[in-house]
Structure 1
């Protein structure tokens, strides 16, 4: 049987399509490849975008901003000493982009104008820190990325 150009092209095209379809089915069916959205209820989250931008601007306008630092035994969030630590309320979300099962929230409870998150809650790698807090009726939002070694 002799194969001409047309038959060869059809065979090559069929093999290529099979190759692509194999990888599509592999990614969709294998739990190793997580296809979840970054944020649960994405569209609901998007409707509050302007409010979120106002809180980010409030945090940006502060003369002294809270700082997030990785130290040897954990993560330390230090608020400026001018803030009354009993009046600062809110929470800190530590978000792991590579695996959502490591994400966790921590309520802000300051001691000596700082909040400490121990290393035993953290694994090595990238963490997105989203800090939402309120002080004297004004809402603030800070987002930072830290790397744990």
Structure 2
């Protein structure tokens, strides 16, 4: 059987469409290609942007801002020592960009201006840390991308 140019074009279209359909089905089914949204309530958080900017300005106005370091026990977040640790309240949110199942939030409970996040909760790799805290009625926000 001889294949003319019309048959060749139709076969090329069928081959191309088959490849595209295979690619689409593979990307939708295979879990290693899952890419979640940054957050589930994206639009709600967009409305909070100006509030976050004000909190970050408050944090930057401090003589010394929050600091963190990696230790053998875990991640130690150090709050400014010029503030009374008993009056600091808030929460720490650790966000894992590669997998939302590892995200977690913890309340701030300080011992000697330090907050320890245990090593068993953190996997090696990139984390976004967000510390939303209050001191004497004033709100502060610390955001940092860290590699643990």
TM-score by length of 2: 0.91
Number of equivalences: 148
The whole-number CA distance in structure 2 between the counterparts of 1:26 and 1:62 is 51
Counterpart for residue 120 of structure 1: 120
The whole-number CA distance in structure 1 between the counterparts of 2:9 and 2:72 is 61
| Higher percent of residues as helix | 2
Q: Which moved more, 1:48-57 or 1:5-14?
A: 5-14
The whole-number CA distance in structure 1 between the counterparts of 2:85 and 2:114 is 8
Does the alignment pair 1:22 with 2:22?
Answer: yes
| Aligned-residue offset at 1:50 | 1.3
CA contact (8 A) 2:36 2:100 kept: no
Counterpart for residue 43 of structure 2: 43
Give unmatched runs, 5+ long, in structure 1: none
| Aligned-residue offset at 1:24 | 1.0
The whole-number CA distance in structure 2 between the counterparts of 1:115 and 1:41 is 27
Give unmatched runs, 5+ long, in structure 2: none
The whole-number CA distance in structure 2 between the counterparts of 1:50 and 1:147 is 27
Counterpart for residue 52 of structure 1: 52
1:81-134 deviation per Cα after TM superposition (whole angstroms, max 9, x unaligned): 101001110010111111111111111111111111111111111111111001
What RMSD in Å do the two structures reach over aligned CA positions? 1.5
- Any residues of structure 2 matched to 1:68-107 within 5 Å, and which? 68-107=68-107
Q: Which moved more, 1:107-116 or 1:20-29?
A: 20-29
